[in-house]
Amino acid sequence: MRVVFAGTPEVALPALEAVAAGRHELVGVVTRPDAPSGRGRRLVASPVALRAEELGVPVLKPEHPRDPDFQDALRELAPDACPVVAYGALLPQSALDIPRHGWVNLHFSVLPAWRGAAPVQHSLWAGDEVTGATTFRIVKELDAGPVFGVMTERVGAGDTAGELLARLAEGGAGLLVQTLDGIEDGSIEAREQPTDGVSYAPKITVDDACIDWATPAVAIDRQVRACTPAPGAWSTHDGERIKIGPVTVSDDEKLEPGVVEVRKNAVLVGTATVPVLLGEVKAHGRKQMSAADWARGARLGSGVRFGGAGETT
């Protein structure tokens, strides 16, 4: 088949590589427009665009996929199917109708669970023991199209969103190629999603990532791992935000929520249940470091209290 791949961030690269190496003819790539980056805010092409250029594949960067010029260019490429991984824009029906086999999305959850922009983060935050990836045909309703294939992945006790997503991206790349192969030879059939078990995974904002120390330690552990590496869980001390890396639930005696206990080589913070042991932290304007090193440099003493959104403790 002739295929046009659609994707934007680094997480889409394993699938792009797998499609390019497969039996199908990669005739083009669709990605988001170049975006400002760095201190100079210069325009930078997406990871998918950069790799496509290295592969010598034509790249389309529409401001929006409803643009007539983009749709005309896509028709000229005459794709039979458009595999999609984290493209980042809603596709109008006029674009969905162009490839005869539709747009085949690789989504990082076992649908119908966690439809939306942040399935891996929400799965971790909810404490799921198993997640996975799904290939499905895109329809107008969010992540609701008929399913071609599914893979599952066990969630590790210490997994961060970044680590889990990396594994799903690698495993899902193979699933996407198998799906394209099955579509071409007729060995795979899309099946409608169940109507029960639907859940949603909207984008996690910086405000969402603020730690509420008055919640149980297990919930804080899940929140921090779900927000690592982005947007980054955080708290406040001395009027400044501090990014908090993955924590460890301790078996120490209870501390009041948000109260800090500094030891020789450890920093604990109280929660609604048992304290958590901080791993790495990043103070404003400083590099990331171990919590013990940060506490020494900040001359942090036991008994201070971390704050939350809008607080200046």
Domain coordinates of the chain in residue numbers? 2-185, 217-297
| CATH architecture, domain 217-297 | Roll (3.10)
The answer, yes or no, to whether residue 285 has pLDDT greater than 90, is no
* pLDDT tens digits, 4-49: 999 999 999 999 999 999 999 999 999 999 988 877 788 999 999 9
Q: SS3 of 271, please? A: coil
Whose CA is closest to 109, among 159, 156, 144, 157? 144
Amino acid 105: pLDDT: 98
Instruction: Say which range, 105-109, 256-260, 262-266, has the weakest mean pLDDT.
Output: 262-266
Residues 28 and 58: their CA atoms lie apart, in Å, by: 5
pLDDT tier for residue 302 given thresholds of 50, 70 and 90 = confident
pLDDT of residue 264: 87
pLDDT band at 212; cut points 50, 70, 90: very high
- Is pLDDT above 80 for 308? no
For residue 166, pLDDT beyond 80: yes
Pair 25, 48: CB distance under 8 Å: no
* pLDDT at 309 exceeding the cut of 80: no
In this predicted structure, the answer to whether residue 313 has a pLDDT above a threshold of 80 is no
Is it true that the peptide bond before 229 is cis, omega within 30 degrees of 0?
Answer: yes
Residue 276 tokens, joined = 């958590």
CATH number of 2-185: 3.40.50.170
310 pLDDT more than 60: no
Q: Give the closest residue to 283 by CA, choosing from 253, 249, 238, 231.
A: 238
The pLDDT mean for the chain works out to 95
Residue 311 pLDDT greater than 90, yes or no: no
What average pLDDT does the segment 161-166 reach? Answer: 98
pLDDT at 78 over 50: yes
Q: How many CB atoms lie within 10 A of CB 87?
A: 23
Residue 258 pLDDT = 95
Average pLDDT of span 112-120: 98
- Contact yes or no for 285/294 (Cβ under 8 A): no
Q: Which residue has the higher pLDDT, 296 or 150?
A: 150
Band (128; pLDDT cuts 50, 70, 90): very high
Percent of the chain clearing pLDDT 70 (strictly above): 98
According to the model, what pLDDT value does residue 84 have?
98
Indicate if the pLDDT at residue 192 is higher than 70.
yes
